[in-house]
Amino acid sequence: MIAVTEVEEGCILAVRAQPGARKSGVLGEQAGALKLAVTAPAEDGRANKALVELLRELLDLKRSQVEFLRGQTSRRKQFLVKGLKKADLEKRLQLLFIGLRN
């Protein structure tokens, strides 16, 4: 189960990053986090910026709705998804996994 914590501004989403991958996308769930691969290297925050963009695209959000919170140099990261309730974010995450199975 992917860790989603509801806060006043929206939800905090746990992500496990794999920078420097051949292609960007969802790899599944790992240790309570959404595992995402990005082609950007883990240098100068480029992978973190790529993760923000990937999350925005995957969850069909506006750029202003996804904010990097913590985990600058770690593979375990947290993102703030603004303007969504926990149930809404969990539903969007479920749709991602349905798409992976098909």
Amino acid at position 15, single letter: V
74: DSSP letter? S
* CATH code at position 45: 3.30.1200.10
Whether the model clears a pTM of 0.85, i.e. scores above it, the answer is: yes
CA 82, distance to chain mean position in Å, is 13
User: How much is the pLDDT for 102?
Assistant: 58
User: How much is the pLDDT for 49?
Assistant: 97
User: How much is the pLDDT for 40?
Assistant: 97
pLDDT in tens, the chain (102 residues): 899 999 999 999 999 999 999 999 999 999 999 999 999 999 999 999 999 999 999 999 999 999 999 999 999 999 999 999 999 999 999 998 887 765
Residue 96 belongs to domain spanning? 4-101
Using DSSP's 3-state secondary structure scheme, residue 58 falls into: helix
